[in-house]
Structure 1
Amino acid sequence: MTNYTIMQILNMGFNWDTSDMSILMLAKLAKPLMGTTRIMINSLHIKGDLLITPILDGKALMYSFSSKPEVRIEIAFGSGGTEVPGVSSWLVRLGGFIFEKAHVYHFWHNSIHFEIIKSR
């Protein structure tokens, strides 16, 4: 006789918008630029449908977005008061791409309710 466990998946809207934070990162540049520069994240907005699933027999939670979330990041790049032209927009595009690849689970396409049955 096989026992089955039904795992529930929580599907919820997620809307996080903040402009009252600042994240400062220092980056070490390679040749030919050489030196350190600062990357400043001034605001962050994330909106999408979030899936939360229990894993490891309910001892941990896995989260992912069911579709590509709307992500807006305001980034300043430069050293001191100077900003290198074009780098901030490139960092925003790169950050959005990395966020999508890391946090969107592509196997669940716009699903609302799921029950996963796993055998023990």
Structure 2
Amino acid sequence: MDLDATFAALADPTRRAILGRLRAGEATVTELAEPFAMTQPAISKHLKVLERAGLISRGRDGQRRPCRLRADALKDATDWLEGYRNLWEDRYRSLDGLLDELKERNGRDE
């Protein structure tokens, strides 16, 4: 998985909205274009970015070409972010400890 491609795809609010819609289930380009004030070709460009990043796949069902979310493709990005979440949680715990220590010290000084 290419994290740069994943984060570049996720950087656009239209693409995030498309992924949000696909969480509910597969949809065609026409269905995905409905809530946006843009043409189907413009939506198709967004879909190509999402597809290149591995975040969606497109199938064929007769005449339909439904798009599907590939949630597993977000795992590498989630794993990468998780390391930073752990870092900040550790820092907040340290800060909480320091604040508790200061409160205790101030309580004794009064």
**TM-score normalized by structure 1?**
0.26
| Higher strand content, 1 or 2 | 1
Higher relative contact order (CA 8 A, sep 6+): 1
**TM-score normalized by structure 2?**
0.28
